[in-house]
Chains A and B, each alone.
Chain A
């Protein structure tokens, strides 16, 4: 089955640090990847849609200069949280769709738990 690998699984760092999270589709090509954020006891909230070879599309209220997304290949998208602060602490999850598929499911990574001290 389609596998999405997310790295790292957990990050603890000081306030002001920039953190990069990688999302890889291991056995399929993904033209589109998605980045979500989930706070404790809440549901997933879509942050942005990452499109290979073009700029990401951000959801309303998500700062594009704060959350930098790069999707340079059909198997890799990265999310960089720039100058992270304690309020950015959250569970970040990526997902990917198989390129060219119609209404097929998204495949999710295992998430990255980010803790900013």
Chain B
């Protein structure tokens, strides 16, 4: 699976929107963009995924660039419970749908 690049850390204030970027310049046409997050001492939690069009769910929105070489996870109103490591992962569905986790972005939310 193609590699992704994320900032090591970001900081936000409570109740403000957060935009978490992810670069994936070598993405292939069949790669889906997945986002997971991991709270301290817990297993990862699925957030959202998409292929080409922007996606919305109850947790977040995913904005995908037209050329698909980057994407942004949007938390509309950050809460203290959103403090976690956020992982952007590409997956084409091959190799039994294995996920390769990078270092992710550590999001700190200030009260």
Q: Which A residues are closer than 8 A to B by beta carbons?
A: 4, 6, 32, 34, 36, 43-46, 49, 51, 57, 91, 93-95, 97, 102-103, 105-111, 113
Residues of B within 8 A of A43 (CB): 87, 101-104
User: 1/0 per position for B36-52, CB-CB distance to A under 8 A?
Assistant: 10100111111001000
In the bound complex, do residue A32 and residue B96 qualify as a contact, i.e. CB atoms below 8 Å apart?
Answer: yes
Report the Cα distance A46→B98, complex, angstroms: 8
Report the Cα distance A34→B42, complex, angstroms: 16
What is the minimal beta-carbon distance from B109 to any residue of chain A, in angstroms?
Answer: 20
> Which residue on chain B has the smallest CB distance to residue A6?
B43
In the bound complex, do residue A107 and residue B46 qualify as a contact, i.e. CB atoms below 8 Å apart?
Answer: yes
In the bound complex, do residue B98 and residue A34 qualify as a contact, i.e. CB atoms below 8 Å apart?
Answer: yes
In the bound complex, do residue A103 and residue B91 qualify as a contact, i.e. CB atoms below 8 Å apart?
Answer: yes
